[in-house]
Amino acid sequence: MLYLLGKNSILNLAIVHYQLNNNNLEEKVLGPKNTTVYPLSKHNYITLEIKKLNNDRSYVNKLLKCPINSSSIVYNQLKSNPNTRLTVGTLLNITEYNSGNTGTDYQSAPKVETFISKFTLSENDILVLPTMSDKKTYMPIQGLRLFKDRTMEIVPLDGELSIRMSKDVIEQFYKYYKSEYDAILQYRRMKLAEDQIDDANRPTMYFGKKGKDTGKGGKFRIARGVWHTDENGNTNYIDFNSLSDQELMDTFNNVAQLKEDINTTLIHRADEQLKYVQKLGLIEQKKKSGLWSNKFLPVSSINERSNNYANTYAQLSGSQNKMLRENLAITDAIWTFTVNHFCFNV
């Protein structure tokens, strides 16, 4: 084809590409280390994939037929709402207005700056993923409904308030776990058929013969296990990849217990995130009460939640409960970030 286009083939292709995918060249700014970036990302793999998802719902349906994709928030929201449109932008991290600061690439940015940037995106229902380009920027994806305002469930219990992950969160993460389990079952059955092994006589934890296919498709990579609290109150980690086929089947057949374990697992992960945010110096924990207190998290995020608690729960109203409301607001904010951040990676 290049031969037919002649000696100016590359130039001609570039002109045709621009005519089909025109862009306003004035929509550009200086990014990290004075690299040129565009507020609206265009003409790369992610943006072309998003364009296809927006314009072709049959493509979405095709992707959802794959077991591992069946739990995707992105695909399911696109399928259930024809009006959902995704957009992709470019994140420059934190810049100071009128200072000449052009932002920081994600390899050079301080951990505090990176967390605040991602936290702010999470609070605004924006997914974020790093680009693989030399500009080292993040690509925010907008147009989805994530889990802000529906992460934490506050339950009155014996005159006090107990907290756990909401039903929406647990149900979504159950779907994540189940979809990976279904994909692994499909892989194992395929390998049994390929290797001509009778299902009744298959080895325990059969992942496929060694060779070009190492059998890793039969192992959990995303939902690798759960934290389980036994009847004595002891909490231990269960690694799915260490379970036999029968033990794994029993685990997923007991849906109620699995969902309870998912709740325990998410809270465990969110508590680790709280300690990380404390280490960054953004929050502090009062020594006597053990309550979280805000230092540098965005004030609007914390105050919005705190005011909502005061208006919703009698046990949390009044100035005497201000510290308790702030503690719950910080907990909910970091729980929400933890849950949303997992969605970035699925």
Number of other residues whose CB lies within 10 A of the CB of residue 51? 15
Q: CA geometry: angle at 345 spanning 341 and 346, to 5°?
A: 115
The CA-atom distances, in angstroms, between 214 and each of 46, 67, 149, 219, 227 are 29, 21, 43, 11, 28
pLDDT, residue 273, reads 97
Q: Which letter, b or e, does each residue of 13-23 get, where b requires 16 or more Cβ atoms within 10 Å of its Cβ? A: eeeeeeeeeee
Cα 109 from Cα 93, distance rounded (Å): 8
**Is 283 strand, coil or helix?**
strand
Over residues 31-88, the pLDDT tens digits come to: 555 555 555 555 677 888 999 999 999 999 999 998 889 999 999 999 999 899 999 8
pLDDT, residue 189, reads 76
Q: CA geometry: angle at 161 spanning 155 and 164, to 5°?
A: 50
pLDDT, residue 245, reads 79
Concatenated DSSP letters for 15-60?
Answer: HHHHHHS---TTS-EE-GGG-EE-SB--SSHHHHHHHHHHH-HHHH
Cα 298 from Cα 93, distance rounded (Å): 15
Instruction: Note whether 41 and 88 are within 8 A (CB).
Output: yes
Beta strands in the chain (DSSP E): 29-30, 36-37, 87-88, 127-130, 138-142, 152-157, 160-165, 225-229, 235-239, 283-285, 292-294
pLDDT, residue 202, reads 59
* Averaged pLDDT score across all residues of the chain: 81
Q: What pTM was estimated for this model as a whole?
A: 0.80
- Report residues of the chain scoring pLDDT below 70: 1-43, 92-109, 130-137, 192, 195-217, 344-346
